[in-house]
Each structure stands twice: as structure tokens, then as C-alpha cells.
Amino acid sequence: MNIVLSKEAGNFGENKDIARKIRIKQIMPALVDGKEVILDFKKMTGATQSFIHALIVSPMREFNDVFFEKVKFKNCSPTIQQVIKIVSEYTQEGMEE
Amino acid sequence: MKILFSNLDQLKSINYFLSLNKLSNSGKLEISSKNNWAYVHPACLAFTAAIAEEVGKENTTINIDDEQAIIYLDRMGLYKYASNSCPVKYDKHEESGRLIPITQLKTDAEQSKFIADLHPILHLSPEKSETIKYVLGELIRNVIEHSNAKNGAFVAVQYTASKDKLSIGICDTGIGLRASLEKYHNPIDDLDAIRLALMPGVSGTAYHGGTGDNAGAGLYIVKSIVKTTRNYFFVYSGNAAYKMHKFDKRVKHGPRLNENPFADKCSTYDDLPSFGGTLIGLDLTLTDTERFSEILERIKIAYSKAIRERKKTKYKEIKFI
């Protein structure tokens, strides 16, 4: 499943409600079905940590290894890459407890 | 209530501005100024507009004589919140490229539109506008989601082209940081609430580690961006305030990003007039996207280290006798 985020979030991801909606309606059901998920950031120049957190932290916590195997990030700007890495690292630090 | 503007009203001395205000709930607000001032930080304007909206336009008056000051306040949109209109006639310039007048935002849809319109309004390249979009996106969202402010967020921005610097103020008259953090973190006073709010991983929605929707990272990252770009950062809530000073440019290797905000070069105040909401002021030197991603890389390393260190301190000590 290829999810083009800019279709709903515009060219800068800051609206957590939109991120939450994409997570609940698209990402989680796809992972439950064992499908691969491609989060495509084409046309997006940036995103806040809050947006990325609302998008990926719940599936990362709930699916753990499956998340890292099935979810891929595409067309990320350097800024978006860094924000995803920040969220990924602090979430994994918390998951080790 | 009285708010007094002066020429000292920049972040460096904003505690002076705040200490002169009289915020006792009299139901009326009078805005005045000391003579011959020309410019105040947008944080002062956002703060004043938020109070004026709370008191009501019909109960707010602006009593200022200096013509330049009147024009400036009108351009920044403050007269919209007062019962008296701007008394000076002047040619209104096209404001875009220099400032965003005081803007009230109540919903996430209003926030998204405001953020989307930023770079055309400020005449910034899309690359340069990344930092301000990021910072405003996080700060406005905090107000809408956590402040319980019925009037939403008041935002004002000024751009100084010669320094390539943005000055940003954002204010709400909601529950304040202490009440927001009370449920899970029990701050001992307003200053402790500010300290907790600026620490990574402290969220008003969970004891530890955040939830699927909140990490408690937003303010820490914004403060770290400001520190890395060597500027002032300021928070005021309750009777307390925190001001992070500019980082010394002569130091090599850039500033250390501390988990504890009080470990930064800063000033703290706990005897200011009591303010029920939250005010944040900051200055930001614009950077291009490449530099911004480098800043985020540094924040990522500091954040992970802070969480690892905090986890170590969580282990309870065994008592051997």
C-alpha cells in the first residue's frame, strides 16, 4: 500500500489530526493484514515531530519488528528524514523498558 | 489592568516589561507606553492581544501619544482589540515581507492555513521557511491541543532582513503550564512546571514516555533549535518565567543541548504578576534546509542521550545493610 501523505497533509506536515487519521484508517489496518506500507512524502518539504509521532509511534509500539520490516519511507527530504529518525529513536528507547 | 510598553521590550529585557504590568482582574485593560519607543517584541504584542480579547474589546483602550508608536501598533493589528480606533491617518504599506500582524488561531484547520501561507507572506524562499514552519507548527499545536484556551492562540511575527532574523510571539489565556502538567507530573510551582515543560519526554498526557499522540518533545526541540541558532527563548506562565540567553558565538563546536533547561545559560523569575495562560517568545535566525537538517541531527543525538540517562536514574537503589 502506497500512502501519498501530501494528498491530505499538504506540503508541510503539521496537522496531527490528519496524521492520526492516516494512521488509524490506513496504516494500522494494512499492518493488521500483513501488507507492506510505503509512506510516500513526495511534494512534502517538511514535517513537525508532532506530526510524525502521531503518524508512526502507535504502529511502531504495537507491531514492533513487523513495523520495521513492513513500513518504508519514500521521497523524504533531509529534514523529514531527521524528524523520522528522532521519533524512531526516542520511541525505541521507550520500548526497551 | 494596565500594560505599559517601552523601548526595552525585547526578549533580552522582557522580564522588565512583564514586571511593570498590572494584571489584577479589574475587567478593564489600559494599554499605554513610555515616550519615544518604536519597536517591541511580538511576544509583548501577542500577550497584550490575548489579555485584551479576554477582557473584551469594549473594555480595552490604547492611550498612546507618539505618532510612530501608534502607526506601529496599528500595523501590528493591536487596535483591532481595542475600543478606540487608530487616531493617526497614514499610508498603509504592503506588510508582507516584514511582519505578520497579530493573528488569532482557534482550530487545527486555521493553523494549517496559517502555516501554508507563511512563506508567501514573509517573502521567504521555501527552503528558508522550513524552520519557521516547524517552530510555529509545534507551538500553535501545543496551544490548540493542551491549553484549553477558548480564545485559541495569538501569534505575531516580525522579520528583520538585515539580521535575517525572525522574532515570534505566541500567547494563550488557557490553563497554563502548571495545570496542564498537574495530572501526571505534579509540579511544585509555576517555575517547576516551566522546567518540566521544556524537558524532553515530559508530556501532560502521560507519566512517562508519552502516548501514541504525544511525546512531550515539542518545546524541547523548539528550544534546542533556538539555542543552536544562537538566540533568545522565553516562557512565561503563572507567576514564573524562564529566559534562555543567547549562546556565546565565540565558543567552538556549538552549544550543548541540555536535558534540564536550567542547565542552559538562563534567568528565571518567580515573582511576576500572575498570568493564567502561557506566553512564549523567541528569536530565530533563518537557516536553509540543509543546515536545518543538521540541527535536527544534533537534537536527535542529544534527545536519545537524555532519555538513556533518565532511564538509568530510574533504577531503584538496593539497600545493603
Q: Is the dihedral of CA A63, A69, A74, A78 positive or negative?
A: positive
Per-residue pLDDT band for B208 (boundaries 50, 70, 90) equals: low
Inter-chain touch B304–A89, beta carbons under 8 Å: yes
Give the B window 218-247 contacts with A, CB below 8 Å: 218, 221
Using alpha carbons, select from B268, B302, B292 the residue that is nearest to residue B124.
Answer: B292
Cα(B285)–Cα(B159) distance, integer angstroms: 10
Better-predicted residue by pLDDT, B117 or A25: A25
B207: pLDDT strictly greater than 70:
no
Cα(A44)–Cα(B282) distance, integer angstroms: 26
In which order are the strands placed within the sheet that holds B2-5?
Answer: B2-5, B29-33, B60-63
pLDDT tens for B239-279 read 999 999 988 766 666 788 988 999 999 999 999 999 999 99
The pLDDT mean for chain B works out to 87
B263 touches A: beta carbon within 8 Å: no
B300 touches A: beta carbon within 8 Å: yes
Query: One-letter amino acid identity for B208?
Result: H
Map residue B154 onto helix, strand or coil: strand
Inter-chain touch B210–A53, beta carbons under 8 Å: yes
Write out the DSSP string of B163-174. Answer: GTEEEEEEEE-S
> What is the phi-psi region of residue B201: left when phi exceeds 0, alpha when psi lies from -120 to 50, beta otherwise?
left
Any idea of the CA torsion for B134, B136, B140, B146, to the nearest 10 degrees?
A: 50
Give the B window 93-112 contacts with A, CB below 8 Å: 108, 111-112
Strand B153-160 versus strand B240-244 pairing type: unpaired
State the helix-helix crossing angle for B289-314 and B218-228, rounded to 10 degrees: 130
Start-to-end CA span in chain B (Å) = 61
Inter-chain touch A14–B304, beta carbons under 8 Å: no
Residue whose entry in the numeric block shows the C-alpha cell 510551582: B189
Inter-chain touch A14–B303, beta carbons under 8 Å: no
Residue-level pLDDT at B209 = 65
A2: pLDDT strictly greater than 60:
yes
B32-43 burial: b if 16+ Cβ within 10 Å, else e = ebeeebeebbbb
Q: What single DSSP character describes residue B22? A: B
Inter-chain touch A79–B292, beta carbons under 8 Å: yes
What's the rounded mean pLDDT across residues A34-56?
95
Kindly state the cell numbers that stand for B292: 536545518
Residue-level pLDDT at B233 = 97
pLDDT tens for B273-304 read 999 999 999 999 876 655 888 888 889 888 88
Closest-approach residue (CA) in chain B for A76: B293
Inter-chain touch B212–A11, beta carbons under 8 Å: no
Kindly state the cell numbers that stand for B283: 528569536
Using alpha carbons, select from B270, B12, B280, B4 the residue that is nearest to residue B156.
Answer: B280
B12: pLDDT strictly greater than 70:
yes
Inter-chain touch A86–B217, beta carbons under 8 Å: yes
Query: One-letter amino acid identity for B48?
Result: T
Per-residue pLDDT band for B196 (boundaries 50, 70, 90) equals: very high
Cα(B148)–Cα(B125) distance, integer angstroms: 34
Cα(B10)–Cα(B220) distance, integer angstroms: 22
All domains of chain B, ordered by start, with CATH?
Answer: 2-314 (3.30.565.10)
Start-to-end CA span in chain A (Å) = 31
Residue-level pLDDT at B21 = 86
> What is the phi-psi region of residue A21: left when phi exceeds 0, alpha when psi lies from -120 to 50, beta otherwise?
alpha
Strand B240-244 versus strand B266-269 pairing type: antiparallel
Q: Which residues of B touch A78 (CB under 8 A)?
A: 289-290, 293
Q: Considering just the CA atoms, what is the radius of gyration of chain B in Å?
A: 20
Residue-level pLDDT at B317 = 60
Cα(B107)–Cα(B38) distance, integer angstroms: 33
Question: A97: burial class by Cβ within 10 Å (0-12, 13-18, 19+)?
Answer: exposed
Q: Which of A45, A86, A94 sits opposite B126 (nearest CB)?
A: A45
Residue whose entry in the numeric block shows the C-alpha cell 503563572: B238
Cα(B103)–Cα(B101) distance, integer angstroms: 6
Q: Which of A23-32, B137-146, B162-171, B289-298 has the lowest mean pLDDT?
A: B289-298
pLDDT tens for B76-122 read 999 999 999 999 988 877 666 688 999 999 999 999 999 988 877 77
Inter-chain touch A48–B290, beta carbons under 8 Å: no
B150: pLDDT strictly greater than 90:
yes
Q: Which residues of A touch B297 (CB under 8 A)?
A: 82, 85
Better-predicted residue by pLDDT, B167 or B304: B167
B231: pLDDT strictly greater than 80:
yes
Strand A2-4 versus strand A37-40 pairing type: parallel
B135: pLDDT strictly greater than 90:
yes
Closest-approach residue (CA) in chain B for A61: B212
B29: pLDDT strictly greater than 60:
yes
Q: Which residues of B touch A57 (CB under 8 A)?
A: 210, 212-213, 215
CA A60 to chain centre: 9
